[in-house]
Amino acid sequence: MNAHVGGPRPAPIDDNQASGDPESRDADGKAPSGGHFVARAGVFDAADLRRAVTRIAHEIDERNHGVEDVVLIGLYTRGVALARRLAAAIESFAGTPVPVGALDVSFHRDDFRVRSVEPQGPTEVPVDVSGRAVVIVDDVLYTGRTARAAMEGVMELGRPRSVQLAVLVDRGHRELPIRADYVGKNLPTRRSEDVRVRLEGVDEGPEGVEIWGPADDAGDHGGGGDR
């Protein structure tokens, strides 16, 4: 089954989409305030990122006692790229191909009626999700609102046996009771900061994860969490 939701097929994934954490924003979808942003800290370099993907891939295999019924569904844009990397990593050690899909959550968000929404890409899943373990993949977990929207989108495709969440970075500040099953790094941040992920094939510059924030920000400290 190849599920396609959302009308006419948009163009393929825009691999030149600007980097940055789309969940590093408040409930109204606004970017963190505070003026000019500067890089504050490097979190992951390319080698760290590869190790995190490999570890999460093994954890997915172990938790599900194999991957025969697993499907990875990435959220645009970097979640799709990460899902493909996870599938490749799993196949490299388990010898089993894992289906990879892509999900656009734009119209499943709880604020889409009160702000401008643009589709980010086609929702395409190459298999029926019913009875399978679906692993939603995203780059950064922040408020939890995108993850909630993703679960709603997955349920429209069928009735999975389970729905799990894998993220590269959990940066804190939940607004909903959502927790990731697989985390590359728990990263305490301020609400005013932005977690920026760069992936080869999607973003310009070297791969990695950085924290950016307003140059004049005195700080609104918060716990580690999600988007």
Note the pLDDT tens digit of each residue in 139-184: 999 999 999 999 999 999 999 999 999 999 999 999 999 999 999 9
Local structure of residue 70 (DSSP, 8 states): E
Instruction: Find the helix or strand (DSSP H, E) in which 213 lies.
Output: strand 208-214
Quick one: 188 exposed, middle or buried, by C-beta within 10 A (0-12, 13-18, 19+)? middle
pLDDT at 29 over 60: no
d(C-alpha 186, C-alpha 224), whole Å: 6
Number of residues that make up the chain: 227
- Residue-wise pLDDT tens digits, 100-121: 999 999 989 887 777 777 888 9
* pTM (predicted TM-score): 0.81
Q: Which of 183, 175, 123, 185 is nearest to 146 (CA)?
A: 175
- Residue-wise pLDDT tens digits, 69-109: 999 999 999 999 999 999 999 999 999 999 999 999 998 98
Q: Which of 79, 53, 86 is nearest to 226 (CA)?
A: 79
Asked if 13 and 79 count as a contact pair (C-beta separation under 8 A), the reply is no
SS3 content of the chain, % helix, strand, coil (to 5): 20, 30, 50
Asked if 101 and 107 count as a contact pair (C-beta separation under 8 A), the reply is no
Average pLDDT value for residue range 204-219: 86
Domain positions in the chain: 37-224
User: Of the CATH numbers 2.60.40.150, 2.60.40.10, 3.40.50.2020, 3.20.20.140, which one belongs to the domain with range 37-224?
Assistant: 3.40.50.2020
